[in-house]
Amino acid sequence: MRLVSLSLAFILLSGLLSAQEQLRSVADAATTRETKVVAHRGLILDAPENTIASFRACLELGFGFEFDVQRTKDGHLVCLHDQSVDRTTDAKGAIAQLNRYQTVGFDAGSWFSPRFKGQIIPGIDDVFQLIASYPKSKAIFAVDIKLDDKQVEADLVKLANQYKILHRLLFIGNTIHDPGVRKRLLAVDANVNLTHVAHDSKELIESISNPNTNWVYVRYLPSTAEVRKIHAAGKRVFIAGKTVSGLERDHWQTCIDMGVDAILTDYSIELGRQLRQ
């Protein structure tokens, strides 16, 4: 755990961002450079994952973020990575066996640091409302669908349209490998941003040619020629996995130089700084 402090965004990163001028410069870089920072579950090294405090800090810094979708027993969509609340709250139990009114009483921040006491498991509507409150942000927000639930796609798209943010979302998770999920998303709204996964150069051919996606989800370090092929096909490049999730400065720079559109990483602060150099 790295040292953090609270601010109007709940957290600004003292020691990492010691002055407001530094904060603005990182934010400017993150929103004006072509390669976008997507923070894995928010600022996962500096704040409790999948919380509004973490997501708000991302937005203040000009970063997008990735978040996970689960459903409660009474049907509410919530932001949680695991199938249970055990690891990231002060409670126990499977999220699918808990009602929403129960989960709002769980502390989702203190496990990370006492300064985050009172953070709760946010509803997906809370996350969408937060994104909508930053209308000038050019960041990318990656929706990781964890559920094997044939209704979740329609619920997410309708809710995103309610907040007028569908065009700012990129659907990942089950979307990257399950054509049924992509089909159900497209059936609700043809304007959804969808991905197809490529673990290597061979799979990339299929990802580029897939007619139902406008992004390629790359889980290896592609070549410059491959990135150009993706762009030539009218698609964008989202890179994730071990080549970029850690403190991989050389890999990040390769991605930036090639024109990769978005990088998903745990080290979003460091990537943001590298983008402004």
68: left (phi over 0), alpha (psi -120 to 50) or beta: beta
Active-site annotation holder among 76, 81, 196, 251: 81
Taking 3-state DSSP, the helix, strand and coil percentages for the chain, each rounded to the nearest 5, stand at 40, 15, 45
247 in Cβ contact with 228 (< 8 Å): no
172 has which bridge partners? 144
DSSP for residue 152: H
How far apart CA 11 and CA 5 sit, in angstroms, is: 6
Tell me if residue 76 is catalytic. Answer: no
Would you state the structure tokens that stand for residue 219, as one six-digit string?
Answer: 């889980």
123 has which bridge partners? 78
Active-site annotation holder among 40, 76, 196, 251: 40
CA distance between the termini of the chain: 26
How far apart CA 261 and CA 227 sit, in angstroms, is: 10
Q: Which residues are catalytic?
A: 40, 81
